[in-house]
Structure 1
Amino acid sequence: MLNMPAYLMSKRTMFNVAKKLGIDLVELLAIWAFCFWDVGLLEQNETSEAISRRIRERIMYEVLTYYNSKGLENSSNRLGNLLFLVRDSVKTAEIVKENFEIRQLFGLNTINGSVCNLFRSTRMPKEDMNELICAICSHTSDGFHFGATACRACAAFFRRTVADGRVYSCRGLSTCNVQWGDRCMCKACRYQKCLDMGMRKTAVLKGSTCPDYSPREVSSTPSTSYSPEIQQSHERSLQQTPFTLNPTTTPILHKLLGNYEALKSVRKMVYSKDGEALFDNVERVPRAVPRDEVNEIQSKDVQLQLHFLVSSFPELNSLEGPQKKLLFKNYFFLSRIIEAAYESVAKGHEERFYLASGDFIQCDRPLTEGLTEERAEKEKQSFRLFIPGDEIFRKTILSSMKYHRMDLVELVATFFLCFFWDAGIQGQTVECEEKCRQFRDAVMRELLQYYKEIGVPFPEVRLGNLIFLTRDATKTMHKCQESFDVAEILQLTVLSGTLYNLLSSFGHL
């Protein structure tokens, strides 16, 4: 009985889709390769990530070449659906791991040893927890970087310093305290400590620094690929000229983008404080908020998002009420994760998780200033509880977002391509699933057309990277849902009411 949820999920999301597509042996091997060359794994270092990205893009390029050699029609959409199959494997894998650990708890597993460890959720053993401390700043480490155990921030600092040839000088006696959370951390002492702890300058890949992210209203800068053909074409397309969507060739994206801009305008009014000038061209200054205020802030966005969806897709009226709720629950959390990552990268604050109001949660430390003793203690507990989710968010979504430099059109397309019009959701009817696949294919076609119009070379590879990015969002969501559920058990009241039902794995609308 424990295996039934995993079987039903795999049948809906994988077996039926693979059968419908008629997956051949080459495509099966490609799926295995995509699963192996993953990025954003908790203990994965930057060299491994770079190699994985390079090989993954090369595989996408070769699959397209294979399709063209067979003379397949609509090969771009086929590759997209193949990658959705890879993404959906994450859903099944999570359920399998949960079932396996429950069986382990009750002594029902028939396998053990090294094979047993392969089926368990990815966790560091308790005896190795002391290794999860950054040797430079004492923050939580996410792996081995350039020869030392380090957090992502110190690894990025060392990489930029070496790659750019930066030289720092200490204003003191070169004995400054290097501690995470210190906004005025001495760069010279931090760099020297990196060297003292074993980081090697020779381990930094040439050209490994990412260009500064400069967002524009509608733009597209393809990711750097390492195959010669894609690399040369990408270099020719790194132009930052604004682009207007063509309502004739991309009508769905054109409508979505307009409605999203309207949503942001309505949010500005809803979240404005008394006395703020709505019509002045002055941006509201975002503020850090404690975690117990998130429920009130995000609850206001639920109705705004519903109106946004209904105005964007009149076709929703043809679906039954329970199916609409199912799609909305699948959409809301994942779209917030992607949107928050987009804002964090665009504004250059990767330590922040931006909310719909424009305010943010400080992910690198608890916010206790001005709180009562009771609220401050709950804030600290919530902060510790969400550290795993925050780490995965930074290592997967933020890393991929910064690497690929997603633009606004891609952001909006992602909401609907991968989250709202998703297929294979548990409880989804056949009619709803078919409609979702039709819309998903339509959005894929328009996104590929958009890439062609702005001159993105190998648009299918760019689309593939976008789909992989959404798989990272799913990983983050699962970890955050675990934290929400534990917070509910501990009565930390991070979420309540409708928002809890939307974001929790146990919630029902």
Structure 2
Amino acid sequence: MPPTCAVCDSPTAFTMHFGGRCCKACAAFFRRTVALSLKYECASNQCCEINFGMRLVCRSCRLQKCFHAGMKADLVRSKRENFSAKGRKHSDGSSNDRQESSTSVSPNLRDDDDWQCPMLNEASTNYMPQFEASPDASSRQSSFDAVYNTPTTSYAIPPPPPSQATPIPQPIYDSSFDLLNHYVSLETSLSSRRRIMYTNTEMDSILECHSNLECPYLPSDLRPHDYRTFRGMLRHDFVILFDYCTGFPQFNSFNSNEKNVFYRFIVAVDFIVSSAFYSSRLGTSMDKMIFPNGEFLCMSPMPMTGEEANARSFFDSDDDFSKYRALMPMHTRIWEESIVPFSRLQTSFQEYVLIKALTVWHITYYKMSECGREKCRVQRDLIISCLSRVCTYDDVQKRVGELLMSMTYIMESVQKLTSSYVLLTFFDVLKCDSMLHEMLTFKY
């Protein structure tokens, strides 16, 4: 069992802070409270529940639990020190003021390594402005969509003048979990749109479960794949992925060319990773390749490639034979090189969501301008830190390493998929949609 925080029962209290065992979020709350001489009053009876899953907590009782956990105020420095990053400079050329905590965080760390300091408005807010804390408590979302809607049970008494502002209640989790919730929301919305488009499910049922829909299909929703009618991605497939793409952090800050590159890679990465995840969830006994549109291709036994002796005799026409021989090797390569190894990882939904987003940021990095690369690098670092936090395995580093290594064969499959589609459209094997043709002819 992982060590639990003595304040909020979070299973992430891996070290001591200010003399007591607690999570980094509670340590940051204690440090800020002591450093700024904040005082709180409990609106209840001084015995409020403090739990990491709650949306709002009583800060007075939380502070008391910090003291009961053995945390000492005299171990907190009340004066902030300025640390200048050595060696590597941040893109804006300036260094941030940091408050030194009792943890062994080096003062030379770059700003994008701030994930080690977990409070939302003290960490990565320079890179994730859309995740900044809002003064309106009702507009914030809790980590992992906590179901608690309890009103706040405390209020802050401001310190002596000149400070007159009431401190904003802080979420008990840090920006990494807010980032996870953001990508989870994008993915569940994508699944809902696919369920609407490719199944006969009633709208009432979709609306009831759209916020936690991990996979868009049930086994009964799947349809057999027919290579004869296959045209690649159609216009509605691009529409489905449009909102998913534009929801990525900092997408709107890219220039026009970078947005085009980003969207095109999302289309390819989604085809590979979504097929792998859907196949691991629905391809019982690893014998079905599930396409993003809900079609399946039986892989046990493996379909012939079309290169076998007398393969032509199984087809009614030369056109059918040519199309099959062009398409099937592409599908079998994706199955063998990406879907099978990815399914062996048995990824959770959260891991799948983050790996998919991380692959997009990593593969687009090399096609971006210097400014765009900096944004990709920051987002990659945030997702990797988030992966290490949501991992439930005993050996976190090994698990994260396995997930990161999966990007290698995913990106190889993306490149092969793109090359195959270019050839298929060039030789007019597929009667593809005009938008697919436009995407394949785009010059980076």
The TM-score normalised by the length of structure 1 is 0.45
Cα distance in structure 2, aligned partners of 1:270 and 1:402: 25
1:487 aligns with 2:424: yes
1:357 aligns with 2:298: no
CA deviation string 1:190-248 (max 9, x = no partner): xxxxxxxxxxxxxxxxxxxxxxxxxxx99xxxxxxxxxxxxxxxxxxxxxxxxxx9676
Cα distance in structure 2, aligned partners of 1:290 and 1:465: 34
- 1:338 corresponds in structure 2 to 273
**1:292: Cα distance to partner?**
5.1
Structure in which a larger fraction of residues adopt helix: 1
Cα distance in structure 2, aligned partners of 1:498 and 1:255: 28
Gaps of 5+ in 1: 1-18, 22-67, 78-216, 219-244, 368-372
1:384 aligns with 2:311: no
The one of 181, 204, 207 aligned to 1:279: 204
CA deviation string 1:294-335 (max 9, x = no partner): 44764312122111232343x222211111111111221022
Q: Secondary structure at the match of 2:221?
A: coil
Cα distance in structure 1, aligned partners of 2:428 and 2:357: 34
AA in 1 matched with 2:293: S
1:261 aligns with 2:188: yes
Retained in 2: the 8 A contact 1:484–1:495? no
**1:482: Cα distance to partner?**
3.4
Cα distance in structure 2, aligned partners of 1:341 and 1:450: 21
**1:256: Cα distance to partner?**
1.1
Cα distance in structure 2, aligned partners of 1:500 and 1:298: 10
The one of 439, 457, 465 aligned to 2:402: 465
Cα distance in structure 2, aligned partners of 1:413 and 1:402: 16
- 1:41 corresponds in structure 2 to none
Identity %: 13
Retained in 2: the 8 A contact 1:366–1:380? no
AA in 1 matched with 2:384: M
- 1:412 corresponds in structure 2 to 353
The structure with higher relative contact order (CA 8 Å, sep 6+) is: 1
The one of 377, 382, 393 aligned to 2:334: 393
The one of 368, 375, 391 aligned to 1:435: 375
Cα distance in structure 2, aligned partners of 1:20 and 1:324: 28
Cα distance in structure 1, aligned partners of 2:333 and 2:347: 19
Task: List aligned pairs for 1:61-210, cutoff 5 A.
Answer: none
Residues 280 and 433 of structure 1: is their aligned pair in 2 closer, same or farther, counting only changes over 3 Å?
Answer: closer
1:425 aligns with 2:353: no
AA in 2 matched with 1:327: F
1:306 aligns with 2:242: yes
Cα distance in structure 2, aligned partners of 1:389 and 1:402: 18
Q: Secondary structure at the match of 1:353?
A: strand
Alignment RMSD, CA only?
Answer: 4.0
Q: Secondary structure at the match of 1:331?
A: helix
Retained in 2: the 8 A contact 1:487–1:493? yes
Retained in 2: the 8 A contact 1:298–1:355? no
Retained in 1: the 8 A contact 2:354–2:387? yes
**1:252: Cα distance to partner?**
0.7
Gaps of 5+ in 2: 1-86, 90-103, 114-143, 146-171, 207-216, 306-313
Cα distance in structure 2, aligned partners of 1:468 and 1:376: 43
Retained in 1: the 8 A contact 2:231–2:432? yes
Q: Secondary structure at the match of 2:389?
A: helix
**1:494: Cα distance to partner?**
5.4
Retained in 2: the 8 A contact 1:341–1:401? yes
Retained in 2: the 8 A contact 1:331–1:419? yes
CA deviation string 1:137-168 (max 9, x = no partner): xxxxxxxxxxxxxxxxxxxxxxxxxxxxxxxx
Cα distance in structure 2, aligned partners of 1:460 and 1:385: 41
Residues 484 and 366 of structure 1: is their aligned pair in 2 closer, same or farther, counting only changes over 3 Å?
Answer: farther
**1:461: Cα distance to partner?**
2.2
Cα distance in structure 2, aligned partners of 1:333 and 1:438: 22
**1:414: Cα distance to partner?**
1.5
AA in 1 matched with 2:383: V
Cα distance in structure 2, aligned partners of 1:271 and 1:297: 13
Retained in 1: the 8 A contact 2:358–2:380? yes
Residues 481 and 319 of structure 1: is their aligned pair in 2 closer, same or farther, counting only changes over 3 Å?
Answer: closer
Cα distance in structure 1, aligned partners of 2:352 and 2:382: 16
Cα distance in structure 2, aligned partners of 1:424 and 1:297: 24
